[in-house]
Amino acid sequence: MDSEHSQVPSFWRSPAGFTLLVAIAVGGFYLVTEHTAHLFGVLPYLLILACPLMHVFMHHGHGHGRGGRAGHGQEPAPSMSTDDEQRNG
């Protein structure tokens, strides 16, 4: 079989996906034009909510909970031995 015909099309490229995108766009436009005061009233709460979310998602990989090793999960670079120093100058 030809590989072009065996691929499943994306949902967003189907008629149902396109209809959903248009409905979301129309709904978003309606919210912005008719409920601007409500949207601006929610902005301070979204800013406050962003703080803990950023803390949760931005602090992965810092070595938290790994026994308190220095270097945040990175191994120290090996030092050059005296033989390497003599060869490199």
pLDDT tens readout for residues 42-80: 889 999 999 988 888 887 766 655 555 555 555 555 665
Any domain includes 75: no
Rounded to whole angstroms, how far apart are CA atoms 19 and 40? 28
Position 4: which residue type? E
Percent with pLDDT over 70 in the chain: 60
Rounded to whole angstroms, how far apart are CA atoms 42 and 51? 15
Q: Which residues contact 32 (CB under 8 A, 6 or more apart)?
A: 39
Rounded to whole angstroms, how far apart are CA atoms 3 and 88? 54
Residues 5-21, mean pLDDT to the nearest whole number: 85
Rounded to whole angstroms, how far apart are CA atoms 26 and 38? 18
For the chain, what is the domain count? 1
Any domain includes 2: no
Note if the pTM is more than 0.85: no
Any domain includes 20: yes
